[in-house]
Copies of this chain bind each other. A is one copy, B any other.
Amino acid sequence: MTLTAARPKINETFRITPPALDIPERLLLGPGPSNSNPDVVAAMNRQPIGHLDPAYLDLMDEVQAMMRYVWQTENQMTLPISGTGSAAMEATLANTVEPGDVVLVGINGYFGNRLVDMAGRYRADVRSINKPWGQVFSLGELRAALEEHRPAILALVHAETSTGARQPLEGVGDLCREFDCLLLVDTVTSLGGIPIFLDEWKVDMAYSCSQKGLSCPPGSSPFTMSERALQKLDQRQTKVANWYLDISLLRNYWGKDRTYHHTAPVNMTYAIREALRLVTEEGLENSWERHQTTAEKLWEGLADLGLNCHVDKEYRLPTLTTVQVPEGVDAKAVTSKLLNDHNIEIGNGLGELGGKVWRIGLMGYNSRPENVDNVLVALGKVMAEL
């Protein structure tokens, strides 16, 4: 038998032959991805091994342990989701929301809206409390909302990537216990960069990403669930409405049984393992201090350029700063010029803040004083040229 017998002709239309990969060198100071630590991308330059190989299973254990450290949680169910941050976000809701559950979302930025959209797809009865973008919720406001809505889950964004505001979480977990609801927290732009104490704060579910405070490429995303959240999962009347993210199946792969669920993104695991190892080596305390110090240098420099920050200093994230675009300046023209002339990426405003702010990230490996100097000099030049 020859292969060609009775076979259609191959359509060569799409047989393009692009050149070898040639990626411009960018300084990524936007909302993410940030630049990776060079050791982390080098860790990916290895052959994959099997996702059931004993050597891979060891890596899984190490990743879980270090993830518990950076989040400060003892949650057994702490693992990387095989996708980018939004997949981990969806995993928290998919596993705990049953049709009709009231989910209360604090909306003070773009990602609150995303939580609303996702929760609705799992047929939650979604309620929301709202604040202007850049502000945060007080304990009193949260208590009033819990009283009114009596949700099964309260979802808050610890670090709003669209606004640069930090939602304080002290006391929120106690409130949620009082109202017998689970506390779900977005830590995408906080993990590794600012203090997080998940257990101390009684957070029941959290998710994050790899490409910000962890200095890793995107594609392997921290996820965690407390015993209380697992109880809700165990008591479900219906299957989790998402197969890929179903923790009731994934726990058998990440637990003792090592039952195959889906093929892991093996080289991404190499990367996040190295990324977590570097954070663990530096120590959380040092990493948090570094982010704070670097950000304060940025804020001073922005003031020297006559630029104002959008968020009050008390709630301002060191990982991501929203800078008010001065009257009459074309925000996108500035970001384009920074990228094209200086190879520096900063972010444009999102949603309500579109055209009104720039977003400057100083996260993970990129949180260093020389990067502050680079972006300030370039920003000054670009604005002078406009």
Q: Is A306 an interface residue (CB 8 A)?
A: no
Task: Report the bound CA distance from A243 to B36 in whole Å.
Answer: 27
CB-CB under 8 A from A260, the residues of chain B are 350
Contacts A15-B283, A122-B241, A219-B265; A270 near B47 (Cβ below 8 A) = no
Instruction: Looking at the assembled complex, report how far the CB atom of A95 sits from the nearest CB atom of chain B, in whole angstroms.
Output: 12
CB pair A53–B68 under 8 Å, yes or no, is: no
Number of copies: 2
CB-CB under 8 A from A69, the residues of chain B are 11-16
Q: Is A141 an interface residue (CB 8 A)?
A: no
Instruction: Looking at the assembled complex, report how far the CB atom of A3 sits from the nearest CB atom of chain B, in whole angstroms.
Output: 6
Say which one of A25-33, A145-153, A177-185, A373-381 lies at the interface with B: A25-33
Instruction: Looking at the assembled complex, report how far the CB atom of A44 sits from the nearest CB atom of chain B, in whole angstroms.
Output: 4
Q: Is A138 an interface residue (CB 8 A)?
A: no
Give a binary string over A273-293; 1 marks a CB under 8 Å from any B CB, 0 the rest.
110010011011100110010
Q: Is A227 an interface residue (CB 8 A)?
A: no
Contacts A241-B122, A262-B87, A288-B3; A273 near B21 (Cβ below 8 A) = yes
Instruction: Looking at the assembled complex, report how far the CB atom of A195 sits from the nearest CB atom of chain B, in whole angstroms.
Output: 6
Task: Report the bound CA distance from A46 to B45 in whole Å.
Answer: 9
Q: Is A352 an interface residue (CB 8 A)?
A: no
Say which one of A77-85, A228-236, A297-305, A322-330 lies at the interface with B: A77-85
Partner of A47, one of B23, B43, B274: B23
CB-CB under 8 A from A140, the residues of chain B are none
CB pair A121–B87 under 8 Å, yes or no, is: no
Chain A, range 53-73, C-beta contacts under 8 Å to B? 53-55, 62, 65-66, 68-69, 72
Contacts A41-B44, A41-B267, A47-B25; A16 near B66 (Cβ below 8 A) = yes
Tally of chain A residues near chain B (CB < 8 A): 99
CB pair A49–B26 under 8 Å, yes or no, is: yes
Task: Report the bound CA distance from A239 to B240 in whole Å.
Answer: 17
CB pair A53–B26 under 8 Å, yes or no, is: yes
CB pair B55–A90 under 8 Å, yes or no, is: no
CB pair A90–B244 under 8 Å, yes or no, is: yes
Contacts A10-B285, A35-B48, A44-B41; A23 near B270 (Cβ below 8 A) = yes
CB-CB under 8 A from A84, the residues of chain B are 82, 262-265
Instruction: Looking at the assembled complex, report how far the CB atom of A53 sits from the nearest CB atom of chain B, in whole angstroms.
Output: 7
Task: Report the bound CA distance from A51 to B84 in whole Å.
Answer: 12
Q: List 26 A-B contacts (CB under 8 A).
A: A3-B292, A11-B72, A12-B69, A14-B66, A14-B68, A16-B62, A16-B65, A16-B66, A16-B280, A21-B270, A21-B274, A23-B46, A24-B49, A26-B47, A26-B53, A28-B50, A48-B217, A83-B87, A84-B265, A117-B243, A121-B241, A217-B265, A218-B264, A218-B265, A241-B241, A260-B350
The 3 residue pairs across chains A and B that have the minimum distance between CB atoms: A219-B265, A14-B69, A45-B45
Enumerate chain A interface residues (CB-CB to B < 8 A): 3-4, 7-8, 10-18, 21, 23-26, 28, 30, 32-33, 35-36, 38, 41-51, 53-55, 62, 65-66, 68-69, 72, 74, 82-87, 90, 114, 117-118, 120-122, 195, 197, 199-200, 209, 211, 217-219, 239-244, 260-268, 270-271, 273-274, 277, 280-281, 283-285, 288-289, 292, 339, 345, 350
